[in-house]
Amino acid sequence: MDTNPAPSPREPQETAQAARELIELLEVLWERGRDMVSSTPVSASQLRVLYSLDREEGINLRSLGELLGSAPPSVSRMCDRLEALGFVQRLPSPVSRRQLELHLTVRGKAYLRDLRVQREEALLTVISGMSPTSRKALLRGLTGFQDALDKERPSAPPVRRGAPLKDVRSA
Protein backbone atom coordinates (compact mmCIF):
# COMPACT_ATOMS: atom_id res chain seq x y z
CA MET A 1 0.00 0.00 0.00
CA ASP A 2 1.41 3.33 -1.06
CA THR A 3 0.96 5.97 1.63
CA ASN A 4 2.95 8.67 -0.16
CA PRO A 5 1.07 11.85 -1.05
CA ALA A 6 0.34 12.55 -4.71
CA PRO A 7 3.48 13.59 -6.59
CA SER A 8 3.93 17.25 -7.36
CA PRO A 9 3.79 18.37 -11.00
CA ARG A 10 7.48 19.35 -10.72
CA GLU A 11 8.58 15.93 -9.44
CA PRO A 12 9.72 14.58 -12.85
CA GLN A 13 11.78 17.72 -13.45
CA GLU A 14 13.28 17.60 -9.95
CA THR A 15 14.07 13.90 -10.41
CA ALA A 16 15.74 14.56 -13.77
CA GLN A 17 17.84 17.34 -12.22
CA ALA A 18 18.90 15.09 -9.33
CA ALA A 19 19.78 12.31 -11.80
CA ARG A 20 21.83 14.74 -13.91
CA GLU A 21 23.75 15.90 -10.85
CA LEU A 22 24.35 12.28 -9.81
CA ILE A 23 25.59 11.39 -13.29
CA GLU A 24 28.03 14.30 -13.20
CA LEU A 25 29.40 13.06 -9.86
CA LEU A 26 29.61 9.52 -11.21
CA GLU A 27 31.57 10.81 -14.21
CA VAL A 28 34.17 12.18 -11.78
CA LEU A 29 34.33 8.80 -10.02
CA TRP A 30 34.48 7.03 -13.40
CA GLU A 31 37.40 9.15 -14.57
CA ARG A 32 39.23 8.56 -11.31
CA GLY A 33 38.80 4.82 -11.84
CA ARG A 34 40.03 5.07 -15.42
CA ASP A 35 43.11 7.01 -14.31
CA MET A 36 43.93 4.28 -11.77
CA VAL A 37 43.74 1.45 -14.31
CA SER A 38 46.20 2.55 -16.95
CA SER A 39 48.26 5.42 -18.18
CA THR A 40 47.02 4.50 -21.67
CA PRO A 41 44.92 7.41 -22.91
CA VAL A 42 41.58 5.96 -24.01
CA SER A 43 39.00 8.56 -24.95
CA ALA A 44 35.36 8.30 -23.91
CA SER A 45 34.45 7.39 -27.50
CA GLN A 46 37.09 4.67 -27.61
CA LEU A 47 35.82 3.34 -24.29
CA ARG A 48 32.33 3.11 -25.82
CA VAL A 49 33.87 1.00 -28.59
CA LEU A 50 35.46 -1.31 -26.02
CA TYR A 51 32.16 -1.69 -24.15
CA SER A 52 30.36 -2.39 -27.42
CA LEU A 53 32.88 -5.04 -28.45
CA ASP A 54 32.59 -6.62 -25.02
CA ARG A 55 28.82 -6.97 -25.55
CA GLU A 56 28.87 -7.69 -29.30
CA GLU A 57 31.92 -9.90 -29.81
CA GLY A 58 32.76 -10.24 -33.51
CA ILE A 59 30.72 -7.26 -34.70
CA ASN A 60 31.81 -5.67 -37.99
CA LEU A 61 32.71 -2.00 -38.51
CA ARG A 62 29.43 -1.09 -40.21
CA SER A 63 27.33 -2.61 -37.42
CA LEU A 64 29.53 -1.01 -34.77
CA GLY A 65 29.06 2.38 -36.45
CA GLU A 66 25.28 1.91 -36.43
CA LEU A 67 25.36 0.86 -32.77
CA LEU A 68 27.41 3.91 -31.81
CA GLY A 69 25.62 6.31 -34.17
CA SER A 70 28.97 7.22 -35.74
CA ALA A 71 30.19 7.53 -39.31
CA PRO A 72 32.22 4.58 -40.62
CA PRO A 73 35.46 6.60 -41.11
CA SER A 74 35.49 7.78 -37.48
CA VAL A 75 34.71 4.27 -36.19
CA SER A 76 37.51 2.89 -38.33
CA ARG A 77 39.97 5.47 -36.95
CA MET A 78 38.94 4.68 -33.36
CA CYS A 79 39.47 0.99 -34.03
CA ASP A 80 42.86 1.76 -35.64
CA ARG A 81 43.91 3.55 -32.45
CA LEU A 82 42.58 0.77 -30.21
CA GLU A 83 44.32 -1.82 -32.38
CA ALA A 84 47.60 0.14 -32.06
CA LEU A 85 47.16 0.08 -28.27
CA GLY A 86 46.69 -3.67 -28.40
CA PHE A 87 43.06 -3.57 -27.17
CA VAL A 88 41.29 -4.61 -30.38
CA GLN A 89 42.05 -6.99 -33.22
CA ARG A 90 40.44 -7.34 -36.62
CA LEU A 91 39.90 -10.90 -37.81
CA PRO A 92 38.49 -12.26 -41.08
CA SER A 93 34.82 -13.11 -40.91
CA PRO A 94 34.04 -16.82 -41.27
CA VAL A 95 30.89 -15.95 -43.29
CA SER A 96 32.29 -13.36 -45.71
CA ARG A 97 35.80 -12.86 -47.03
CA ARG A 98 35.00 -9.18 -47.58
CA GLN A 99 34.20 -8.46 -43.93
CA LEU A 100 36.33 -8.18 -40.83
CA GLU A 101 35.17 -8.93 -37.32
CA LEU A 102 36.25 -6.85 -34.34
CA HIS A 103 37.35 -8.59 -31.16
CA LEU A 104 38.78 -7.46 -27.85
CA THR A 105 42.28 -8.77 -27.22
CA VAL A 106 43.37 -10.28 -23.92
CA ARG A 107 44.83 -6.86 -23.11
CA GLY A 108 41.55 -5.12 -23.99
CA LYS A 109 39.55 -7.52 -21.82
CA ALA A 110 41.99 -7.04 -18.94
CA TYR A 111 41.70 -3.26 -19.29
CA LEU A 112 37.90 -3.42 -19.05
CA ARG A 113 38.01 -5.89 -16.16
CA ASP A 114 40.45 -3.69 -14.19
CA LEU A 115 38.44 -0.58 -15.01
CA ARG A 116 35.23 -2.19 -13.79
CA VAL A 117 36.92 -3.35 -10.57
CA GLN A 118 38.23 0.15 -9.85
CA ARG A 119 34.87 1.72 -10.56
CA GLU A 120 32.99 -0.82 -8.47
CA GLU A 121 35.37 -0.21 -5.57
CA ALA A 122 34.73 3.53 -5.83
CA LEU A 123 30.98 2.91 -5.82
CA LEU A 124 31.21 0.47 -2.91
CA THR A 125 33.06 3.07 -0.86
CA VAL A 126 30.22 5.53 -1.34
CA ILE A 127 27.37 2.99 -1.05
CA SER A 128 28.77 1.45 2.12
CA GLY A 129 28.32 4.85 3.77
CA MET A 130 24.59 4.76 3.03
CA SER A 131 21.97 3.42 5.41
CA PRO A 132 20.36 0.07 4.48
CA THR A 133 17.10 1.91 3.78
CA SER A 134 18.85 4.31 1.40
CA ARG A 135 20.61 1.44 -0.36
CA LYS A 136 17.27 -0.34 -0.89
CA ALA A 137 15.74 2.89 -2.20
CA LEU A 138 18.68 3.37 -4.57
CA LEU A 139 18.35 -0.19 -5.85
CA ARG A 140 14.60 0.25 -6.31
CA GLY A 141 15.14 3.52 -8.17
CA LEU A 142 17.86 2.10 -10.42
CA THR A 143 15.72 -0.93 -11.23
CA GLY A 144 12.79 1.33 -12.13
CA PHE A 145 15.08 3.52 -14.24
CA GLN A 146 16.40 0.52 -16.19
CA ASP A 147 12.88 -0.83 -16.70
CA ALA A 148 11.72 2.54 -18.05
CA LEU A 149 14.75 2.75 -20.34
CA ASP A 150 14.08 -0.76 -21.67
CA LYS A 151 10.44 0.22 -22.42
CA GLU A 152 11.58 3.39 -24.20
CA ARG A 153 13.96 1.44 -26.45
CA PRO A 154 11.94 -1.69 -27.31
CA SER A 155 14.02 -2.60 -30.38
CA ALA A 156 17.34 -2.23 -28.55
CA PRO A 157 18.77 -4.94 -26.33
CA PRO A 158 18.15 -4.43 -22.61
CA VAL A 159 20.63 -2.19 -20.81
CA ARG A 160 21.44 -4.81 -18.21
CA ARG A 161 24.62 -6.87 -18.41
CA GLY A 162 24.87 -10.25 -16.77
CA ALA A 163 22.39 -10.97 -14.02
CA PRO A 164 19.51 -8.53 -13.59
CA LEU A 165 19.47 -6.29 -10.57
CA LYS A 166 18.41 -8.02 -7.39
CA ASP A 167 14.69 -7.88 -6.78
CA VAL A 168 14.20 -5.08 -4.27
CA ARG A 169 11.28 -6.86 -2.66
CA SER A 170 13.74 -9.37 -1.24
CA ALA A 171 16.44 -6.80 -0.40
**Averaged in consecutive runs of 10 residues, what is the pLDDT profile of the chain (171 residues)?**
64 83 79 65 88 93 91 92 95 84 95 88 88 92 87 62 41 35
Q: What are phi and psi of 15, to 5 degrees?
A: -65, -45
Please give the Cα distance from 67 to 153 (Å, whole number): 13
DSSP tag of 6: P
The answer to whether 61 and 100 are in contact (CB under 8 A) is yes
Residue 167 neighbours by CB under 8 Å, 6+ apart:
none
